[in-house]
A and B are shown apart, each in its own frame.
Chain A
Amino acid sequence: MSLEVAIRHRLGAFSVTAAFSADKGVTALFGRSGSGKTSLINIIAGLLRPEDGRLTFNGDVLVDSEARIFVPPHKRRFGYVFQEARLFPHLNVRRNLGYGRWFARHAGEGADFDRIVDLLGIAALLNRAPANLSGGEKQRVAIGRALLSSPRLLLMDEPLAALDEERKAEILPYLERLRDETAIPIVYVSHSVVEVARLANRVIVLENGRISASGDAATILSAPSPAISRREAGTLIEGTVETSDVSHQITIVRAGTLRIQVPHLEAPAGKPVRLHIAARDVMLATSRPEGLSALNILPGTIVGIGQAEHGMVDVRLDCGGVTILSRVTTLSRDLLRLQAGKPVHAVIKSVALDL
């Protein structure tokens, strides 16, 4: 199961040049708006014909500009979930779900309707018209519709961008289940660190139509990048659930030698989880603070201090082998005399880690 992309495409003065491969799990195309993410995913889907290049899936040639091969979208069997759900207004939810399934069954395959309806929690909506669904419900139906077409690959173009925070939180768990319970590779376009941190196995960073970095999610999201907005910069920590304190709804996540307390995370012990710790949520103390509500006080050493920008600096810490980023003002840096090698405590409110 592997998608190989090597294409070049010009749109007016802007051009997209990208070469990468994507296999099982979630590959995120990450970048700011206008970086060429949507053009790239449309090229993969076949909605946009690249000027130049090659696109193959499992050795199946879908685009080859030299051999003049271009397989149209309906023959690629790639599911596509758009930013707006794009449900057919003249069909009810059941028929929308059945649309791609009908063509897939024609090709001799049919996905399991009940299992997918159940996975997405849309059983109660089947007889409703798309016009009467909330944004989150529409998007779940759109995901189900794409899945039921028995896709070989699932493309998602900012599927949560048009939704408010609550609806996002409603859909993210379904996407995680999708990643964990199906074998379909997913290409996920997003500009949100939070979404990518939660979902992606691999991240490809796009800037001005070029790939500026690629690699596993933890490495890419912890490295400074212009694709990550100042407010969202931080580090991604991969850990496992250790124990849960049911009475306080606190879960302890172990990452290396660190034990981090996280609120309201219902997961069995041993389950791998990712924590995105935003640099702006991390305080520094030169001595261990007392009488503080913040639950996570992690001893560590300053590894390096970044360039000052807008009166703020990013301080890189090593806390028991785990790298954590903290953003402080230049004033705090000078008052606390922060410098590389100095032992400090990183203070993180558990509430800031609410997934």
Chain B
Amino acid sequence: MDWLVLSDAEWMAILLSLRVSSVAMLASLPFAIGIALILARGRFWGKAVLNGIVHLPLVLPPVVTGFLLLILFGKRGPIGAFLAEYTGIVFSFRWTGAALACAIMAFPLMVRSIRLSIEAVDRRLEQAAATLGAGPVWVFLTVTLPLVLPGIIAGMILAFAKAMGEFGATITFVSNIPGETQTLSSAIYTFTQVPGGDAGAFRLTIISVVISMAALMISEMLANLAVKKMDAA
């Protein structure tokens, strides 16, 4: 069973992938909740445009998304240069850039899941809370958020799984540097490009399948739980 033992470089890729995916998932969560809330509840001009922009990474070729990120967030890009100068955050060819690419790619999935569950909330419950003395912020925190929670968790897991599998945008934006930007997917790609790399690629593939499968199953379970709760109400 020697072929199942992971090398240091492979471990590094796995841990980096987990870190990149976790950061991508957590950092985009507040934005996803905000955007989902606006899309589910807001009525304003340009809502269709906002919806389109959010979903763009889902339909664009990942390479295109990566290239756009490179232009905008690269060292000389307008946003990248600004952030580097005023906050010290650098994206290009760093693991943070990989996290950004993954977050952007996973964003539509997360927003979609949260939005659907916000739309399923019975607004009459929020009215009831208001008549009981709860202001809008309290209504959101004590009624809306708990009812949306299963959708948020499902969205997070889906986003995490998507981030684990992200390849095109990441490799375009931050390249494939072992220890810095070489994620699970990039590592598998690298293995397939060298002679005799099949065993390594296969090991990482198994791990990738296990992680993705677990994420999907948990997400499905939570979605079912949410539906049951809504029905019971």
Contact = CB atoms under 8 A, between A and B. Distances in A.
Interface stretch (A97-105, A239-247, A280-288): A97-105
B133 A88 contact: no
A131 B233 contact: yes
B147 A90 contact: yes
B78 interface: no
A99 B196 CA distance: 65
B47 interface: no
A80 B134 CA distance: 13
Interface stretch (B6-14, B121-129, B163-171, B204-212): B121-129
B123 to A, nearest CB: 10
Given A129-B232, A130-B233, A86 B132 contact: no
B132 to A, nearest CB: 3
Which residue among A45, A74, A76, A84 has the maximum number of chain B CB atoms within 10 Å of its CB? A74
| Most A CB within 10 A of own CB, among B128, B132, B139 | B132
Contacts of B199: none
Given A90-B229, A129-B232, A131-B233, A99 B132 contact: yes
Contact of B131 (A80, A90, A106, A130): A80
Interface in A258-274: none
A145 B132 contact: yes
Interface in A140-175: 145-146, 149, 155
B129 A99 contact: yes
B134 A103 contact: yes
Contacts of A146: 131-132
Residue among A89, A129, A130 with the highest chain B CB neighbour number at 10 A: A89
A88 B125 contact: yes
Contact of A86 (B125, B138, B230): B125
Contacts of B146: 90
A86 B232 CA distance: 12
B34 interface: no
Contact of B133 (A86, A100, A155): A100
Interface size class of B (residues with CB under 8 A): 20 to 34
Nearest to A78: B131
A196 to B, nearest CB: 23
B143 interface: yes
Contacts of B128: 80, 82, 86, 88
B197 interface: no
B130 interface: yes
A74 B232 contact: no
B229 A73 contact: no
A103 B132 contact: yes
A11 interface: no
Interface in B185-233: 229-230, 232-233
Given A86-B124, A90-B147, A79 B130 contact: no
A90 to B, nearest CB: 5
A13 interface: no
B133 A107 contact: yes
Contact of A100 (B132, B139, B147, B232): B132
A240 B177 CA distance: 93
A198 B232 CA distance: 33
Contacts of B143: 88
B185 to A, nearest CB: 38
Contacts of A320: none
Interface in B107-156: 122, 124-125, 127-136, 138-139, 142-143, 146-147
Across the A-B interface, give the 3 residue pairs with the lowest CB-CB distance, nearest first.
Answer: A103-B133, A100-B132, A89-B233
30 contacts: A47-B127, A73-B127, A73-B131, A74-B130, A74-B131, A74-B134, A74-B135, A74-B136, A75-B135, A78-B131, A80-B131, A84-B124, A86-B124, A86-B125, A86-B127, A86-B128, A89-B230, A89-B232, A89-B233, A90-B229, A100-B132, A103-B132, A103-B133, A103-B134, A104-B133, A107-B133, A131-B232, A131-B233, A146-B132, A155-B131
Given A82-B124, A88-B125, 10 more contacts: A46-B130, A46-B131, A47-B127, A72-B135, A74-B133, A79-B132, A86-B125, A87-B233, A99-B142, A146-B131
